[in-house]
Amino acid sequence: MPSRMAVAAAITLAMTTLGAEAADRSVDRGFATRSEVIGANGMVATSHPLATQIGLEVLKAGGTAIDAAIAANAALGLMEPTGCGIGGDLFAIVWDPKTRRLHGYNGSGRSPRGLSRAWFDEQGIDRIPSFGPLPVTVPGAVDGWFALHGRFGRKPMAELLAPTVRYAREGHPVPAVIAEAWAISVRRYADFEGFKAQFTIDGRAPAKGEIWKNPNLARTLERIGREGRDAFYRGEIPATVERYMKAQGGFLAASDFAAHRGEWVDPVSIDYRGVRVWQIPPNGQGIAGLQILKMLEGFDLSGMSPTDPRYVHLFVEAKRLAFEDRARWYADPAFFRAPVAELLSDRYAAERRRLIDPERAQLKVAPGNPVLDTGDTIYLATADKDGMMVSLIQSNYRGMGSGMTPPGLGFMLQNRGEQFALVAGHPNEYAPGKRPFHTIIPGFATKDGEPWLAFGVMGGAMQPQGHAQIIVNLIDFGLNLQEAGDAPRIHHGGSTEPEGQVAAMADGGVVNLESSFPHDTRRELLRRGHRLQDAPASLYGGYQAVMRDPKTGVYFGASESRKDGHAAGY
């Protein structure tokens, strides 16, 4: 029998060995769920494993990063209808290795031309509802596919949509996170005409692991692949939508589809500690993330971490200020030209930063005046062997959308119009043929003029907050691509809304922290005057990213643990 000393020595050796093995793991940062994915010839990161596989197969077959993004996005519309679909809008940022520049695409749809601002007043409506026929705007995603494909695609559109058509007919198993969101959606949309017939199995949501089919969507996508963009914006599909919308008391018409066009835009950027971070300009909210970063740049975050109460406090205070500007200045540039350059200037960031008390939370803040001196979503990232990188985000807005599900088409229409203000004189005031304030934002970052990072964090108002946190995690805290997404996240809510109306908790709002934040952090934030509140996991969004090593050209991919998906390369 071994002696007590021998047993103790064996236990000590075992504990030492276990500790050494843990320390040798590449994900030993405490909050990383897996290592980064690495590939030399291409990378795809999405929120659904099958969508990632479809995109990767397109790359292997010689398709471009845009081809892969379109194919993956189509698949997500079928497989994750709780976050996206062809009834919604699309934004993208593309690095083109041939021209060596970034191209932005704003694929947001406009309000019905037959619905006037006066109609709301006549009906006594002072805020556009979240669901039903009134918040519906023209879906811009399909137009976006063809615009992006026309400039950067290589494979025929029918070939890109074929895998989704096949899965829609033959079926695919539903993963856990999507199944949970689907069950919530059934409770929300059950009474809307057409929903149960096209998005349930005998009136219920598909369960985790259950096979889901959508033959109506298969026919719609097959027609789009065969006949092109006009199959969606002219002819039978928009005519079906118009008949349905009229029956539901809505205004979206076939003529609104025919008039739709997305637009190419120049992305805007800031320098953050030597890295240039890019966003699509308004009517999207992307520059809110840039404003947050510009304010944070004036603070020394070295020696802190994602859970340090000093950092959390500074982040929340910068977010409060940026979101007040978001509510005041962001709108459709065809109707109101936001002072983007001024909002992102060093002078204005310094002016707003001076309002931040490092020791105390602000209970009330107001939007700034940057011109005083001058008069919910899916995200995916792809990259190909030629160096093209794509950051693409697509959404129906609140979950599955408006609840408006035209018969026989297999998709739901978005409810983006809810974001319009019914406030006279507000930049985002409703008008016919106008694009609403938009939440979906693709992110990109470059280093020394070279493409570095395609990234995004889906999830309504979480998106600019998430974008800023990812950049800080990578640059200030030195986390790798996977760790940056898995790190515990901050969400602040209760700011003034884009519609110009003050939220119920505008007296400082509330700070939501994921469960892995330590007790000491929570206690210190309470001492500084913050109000803390628990929140569901879905509030913190979903992150995907592809990073390129500028020296070797090797790609790194990441997909966080809050979603069902993954990154894959080859």
Q: How far is CA 252 from the centre of its chain?
A: 25
Nearest CA among 121, 143, 125, 122 for reference residue 135: 125
264 phi and psi, to 5 degrees? -80, 135
Instruction: Give 541's DSSP letter.
Output: -
494 phi and psi, to 5 degrees? 105, 10
State how far the Cα of 269 lies from the Cα of 345, in Å rounded to an integer.
10
Instruction: Give 61's DSSP letter.
Output: T
* Phi/psi-derived region of residue 348, left when phi > 0, alpha when psi is between -120 and 50, beta in every other case: alpha
* Cβ contact 328:367 at 8 Å: yes
Lookup: tokens for 499 = 């519609």
Lookup: tokens for 12 = 């000590």
* CA distances to 56, 113, 486 from 75, in Å: 12, 31, 25
Count CA atoms closer than 13 A to 539's CA, side-chain side.
16
| 33 catalytically annotated | no
- 264 sits in which H/E element: strand 263-265
Rg of the chain over all Cα atoms, to the nearest angstrom:
24
State how far the Cα of 65 lies from the Cα of 142, in Å rounded to an integer.
17
- 232 sits in which H/E element: helix 230-233
Catalytic residue among 64, 307, 377, 382: 377
Q: What residues are labeled active site?
A: 377
